[in-house]
A = this chain, B = another copy of it.
Amino acid sequence: MQFPMSTMFDAIALREWMSAVGPENVVADEGTLREAETATFATNRRIPAIVSPANREQVQECVRIANRRRVPLYPISSGLNWGYGSRVPATDGCVLLDLRRMNRITDFSEELGYVTVEPGVTQAQLYEFLRARNSKLWMDCTGASPQCSLIGNTMERGFGHTPYGDHFANSCGLEIVLPEGQVMETGFARYEGAKAGPLYRWGVGPSLDGLFSQSNLGIVTRMTIWLMPAPEYFQAYYFRCEAEDGLAPMIDALRPLRMNGTIRSSSHIANDYKVLSALQQYPWEETKGRTPLVEPLMGQFRRDLKIGAWNGSGALYGTKAQVAEARRLVRMALKGKATRLEFLDDRKLALASRFAGVYQRISGWDLKRTLAVLKPVYGLMKGVPTAHPLFSTYWRKRTPAPTEMDPDRDGCGLLWFSPIAPNQGIHARRVTDLAKERMLASGFEPAISLTVLTDRTLSCIISIAYDREVPGEDLRAAECYRELLTCLGKEGYLPYRLGVNWMAAMEEGNAYSETLRLLKGALDPHGIIAPGRYSSARADAAPGPTSNVNTVSIGS
């Protein structure tokens, strides 16, 4: 193997890692590294090497080497952190610690509904695992990709669409390799033989799980995920309203049903732009190449494709009678607010798929086209992973999306800005109004979705989708992101998650930042793990002479 970087980079470290994980699992060839440095937006971090340990012991050894050699590591689980930075580290000069080879499922209980996984275990892998066992348990998926790591998404506090949608809230028992190489388990899992290790979140004494989510204080090498029992009966609902100002009343109508437990999962409401970008790529022809897409053409698309200004979906889980009563309540709540409300179950969906044409003639509802978009969403609400949402990352491309989609490789521009708002109509309206105005002014289509993430909050996902191959667009998109961050932040709508270029944007130099700095200094004195991740990039936590990780010299 050739290591063109080795003349520039710490050759001793490379050699030690090769000895720890096998030479074939240390990559330093230019091509692979440049790929790993490529996200769905412009970044300027250089990755000197990629190290892929096979197990926890190797992770520990890699971390010890990194400490000795003072080279920072940036752990990734699957690295499919699309829209937020893919595999790209928060600071320059970090060696990628790629955990994809650690893909064992180490524990499982059908009766108690949990599974314990390593970082490399993907959504697709867990789905297949459950299917192979004829399990009556459903996983909760994020829409990102079937190849997405469960641990990666959970530690980023991602979410899905079933009653277990808040991923981090439905996990426990972390195994963590600490920044100096020790292994720690959280909750009761830290006691050998503890019966509630995979079952009870808090354990006894201070609860440390939260410390390791969206953080750079350790490397999660194992985690238990809770799984929901498949209900006796499942029914999805879809609704929409034509008027843009119809959003607030719908949000307010659904909130009581969420808060009283009638709706146990995350309803999801997408605006017209979001739905259009799921149906097709940018209408270059109709716009004669002009961007952004605006009224009245946008209105034309809404009418032609029967897209509402707002388009909602959600699901009901329970016995037939429970679902029937929930259906009655949803109907009652949305009456006069949603212009369309349809319920869909497995039988109806199978029927509709077979007789879409006939169905359309009977019901007047164009199921075929709708089904193409509805089916993946329907599946997500039942814990079936889908690659479909990736399609919309090709929105502004001038070539069709390939069968094997890879937004990083294909120059898809995507930035996700994801503020949290109170679960109230007035806030839903305000966030989306602000975002729409700013984005159109910046020349991007405001593709927005709102997910009722918890009883009391909306997670608003604002997509800045563009074509990285168009000169200037990278910069314009970054400016738009920054503007959304500032403008929505000023009104109190703060992001639940950050893109890798803006990790320090939320620091205010207050006691929280100072506390994190102290904790980082205590656990990671040499600033080895993911410097700059969800913290100031200066990595000033490190007290010693090697404190500033940016000074780790490429060339030493």
**What is the interface of chain A, defined by CB distance below 8 A to chain B?**
111-114, 157, 163, 168-169, 178, 182-186, 188, 190-191, 193-196, 199-215, 217, 226, 228-229, 231, 255-256, 259-262, 264, 317-319, 321-322, 325-326, 328-329, 420-424, 427, 453-457, 489-498, 506, 508, 510-512, 514-516, 518-519, 521-523, 534-535
* Chain B positions within 8 Å of A163 at CB level: 261
**Out of B206, B217, B261, B494, which one reaches A191, CB within 8 Å?**
B494
Rounded to whole Å, the gap between the CB of A122 and the closest CB of chain B is 23
Q: Contacts A114-B456, A259-B229; is A194 near B492 (CB within 8 Å)?
A: yes
A512 to B195, CA, bound (A): 18
Contact B264 A494 (CB under 8 A): no
A454 to B203, CA, bound (A): 13
Sample 30 A-B pairs with CB under 8 A, ordered by A number: A112-B422, A112-B456, A113-B456, A114-B456, A168-B202, A178-B515, A183-B511, A190-B512, A191-B494, A194-B492, A195-B421, A195-B493, A196-B493, A199-B422, A199-B457, A200-B420, A204-B497, A204-B506, A204-B534, A206-B217, A206-B519, A206-B534, A207-B214, A211-B211, A260-B317, A260-B318, A261-B261, A319-B325, A319-B329, A322-B325
* Chain B positions within 8 Å of A157 at CB level: 202
* Chain B positions within 8 Å of A454 at CB level: 199-201
* Chain B positions within 8 Å of A113 at CB level: 259, 455-456
**Out of B256, B262, B322, B492, which one reaches A195, CB within 8 Å?**
B492
Contact A206 B215 (CB under 8 A): yes
**Out of B191, B210, B325, which one reaches A202, CB within 8 Å?**
B210
* Chain B positions within 8 Å of A489 at CB level: 191
A495 to B188, CA, bound (A): 9
* Chain B positions within 8 Å of A199 at CB level: 420, 422-423, 454, 456-457
Contact B195 A427 (CB under 8 A): yes
A261: nearest residue on chain B (CB-CB)? Answer: B264
A458 to B188, CA, bound (A): 14
Rounded to whole Å, the gap between the CB of A219 and the closest CB of chain B is 13
A209 to B207, CA, bound (A): 8
* Chain B positions within 8 Å of A515 at CB level: 178, 184, 208, 523
* Chain B positions within 8 Å of A317 at CB level: 260-261
* Chain B positions within 8 Å of A492 at CB level: 191, 193-196
A196: nearest residue on chain B (CB-CB)? Answer: B420
A184 to B229, CA, bound (A): 39
Counting chain B CB atoms within 10 Å of each CB, the highest count among A169, A226, A422, A516 belongs to A422
Rounded to whole Å, the gap between the CB of A228 and the closest CB of chain B is 8
A228 to B184, CA, bound (A): 36
Contact A519 B516 (CB under 8 A): no
Contact B523 A518 (CB under 8 A): yes
